Amino acid sequence: MLFKQQALLRQKLFVLGSLAIGSLLYLVARVGSLDRLQPLCPIDGRFGPRGQDEIPLRALQFKRGLLHEFRKGNATKEQIRLHNLVQQLPKAIIIGVRKGGTRALLEMLNLHPAVVKASQEIHFFDNDENYAKGIEWYRKKMPFSYPHQITIEKSPAYFITEEVPERIYKMNSSIKLLIIVREPTTRAISDYTQVLEGKERKNKTYYKFEKLAIDPNTCEVNTKYKAVRTSIYTKHLERWLKYFPIEQFHIVDGDRLITEPLPELQLVEKFLNLPPRISQYNLYFNATRGFYCLRFNIVFNKCLAGSKGRIHPEVDTSVITKLRRFFHPFNQKFYQITGRTFNWP
């Protein structure tokens, strides 16, 4: 009996040993042939060829610290070469309007992993001295980016400066142009408020809005006042249309961008032919600040500067009514040209 049990145990051990040796031999043979075999589903094949449609995730966006060094000018030429970074001319420009929300729009678009923004207003096309420095000077003012990304800059003075449309056309006749507008009277008061704050900071006196916006001799709207003139959107747009077709413009609702930013950003993504990447996760309402802030990832959030959302001074209601009546026919023409209607009074 004992002899039979020992024989059975030896038989089981032999079978197990044979299986182990066989598995080991198979693994050796398999490893030896791996370099000769092509994987059935290569990673590159799943995502298509590398190129313009390949958009990296913001969470992996090329080491934020390193990009920060590039922007400060501290990166070496070797680092730039190794990371395949370039300074590209913008493929889209936010051309205006002043106090329409250009900074907010630029920062929000920068949430998209395929967008890289110029941090400062370049004022290349509206400043004769800068423009005389040439297009290469302008390009070197752009941030470092990857070839598949698009660079965007914003200089709201572009919209109202006469020479700018032709100058931009000479650089790139197919460039995409973004205009962000607000209700014209509100925008004019916001414009005044910013200038007023600057005067007060320097302990200077300044006229009331009513005195600037209304001509005291005629009691009519003072079209020589820059804040009023800027809000006549259709007059400026008509000058741009001499060089660019309306299809190359996208009108952003600046009032809606404040209260409901995501739908406006999704429209811009579509206009720029970008895959949808900005989501509600990236935007959260800050009750203390009173407007939306940006969330790039789990650790990096950003709110606009404290100067945004200034409290406007009280303006005589009769002046507001007069301004709205003045802007009304211009607004109607603006709706007609752009194909976008706003509920402006």
Fold of 83-338: Rossmann fold (3.40.50)
Residue 278 has pLDDT above 90, yes or no: yes
Residue 308 known to bind ligand: yes
Mean pLDDT of 98-123: 95
Cβ(118)–Cβ(143) below 8 Å:
yes
Q: What is the biggest distance separating any 2 CA atoms in the chain, rounded to whole angstroms?
A: 127
Predicted confidence at residue 200, as pLDDT, reads: 86
Verify whether residue 99 is a known catalytic residue.
yes
Q: Among the options 12, 63, 99, 170, which is catalytic?
A: 99
What are 120's two structure tokens?
């400062």
Angle at 93 between CA 91 and CA 99, to 5 degrees: 165
pLDDT band for position 281 (cuts 50, 70, 90): very high
Mean pLDDT of 87-106: 97
Residue 93 known to bind ligand: no
Residue 143 has pLDDT above 60, yes or no: yes
Residue 99 known to bind ligand: yes
CA distances from 34 to 24, 42, 103 (A): 16, 14, 54
- pLDDT tens-digit profile of 229-238? 999 999 999 9
pLDDT band for position 70 (cuts 50, 70, 90): low
- pLDDT tens-digit profile of 28-53? 344 333 333 333 233 233 223 333 33
Percent of the chain past pLDDT 70, that is, above it, reads 75
Residue 311 known to bind ligand: yes
pLDDT band for position 288 (cuts 50, 70, 90): confident
Give the whole-angstrom CA distance, residue 300 versus residue 309: 22
Percent of the chain past pLDDT 90, that is, above it, reads 64
- Residue ranges of domains in the chain: 83-338
Prediction pTM value: 0.78
How many C-beta atoms surround the C-beta of residue 192 within 10 A? 25
Residue 26 has pLDDT above 50, yes or no: no
Count of H-run helices and E-run strands, the chain: 15, 10
Q: Single out the residue of 110, 66, 69 nearest to residue 304, CA to CA.
A: 110
Residue 101 known to bind ligand: yes
Mean pLDDT of the chain, nearest integer: 83
Mean pLDDT of 215-231: 96
What are 88's two structure tokens?
């590209």
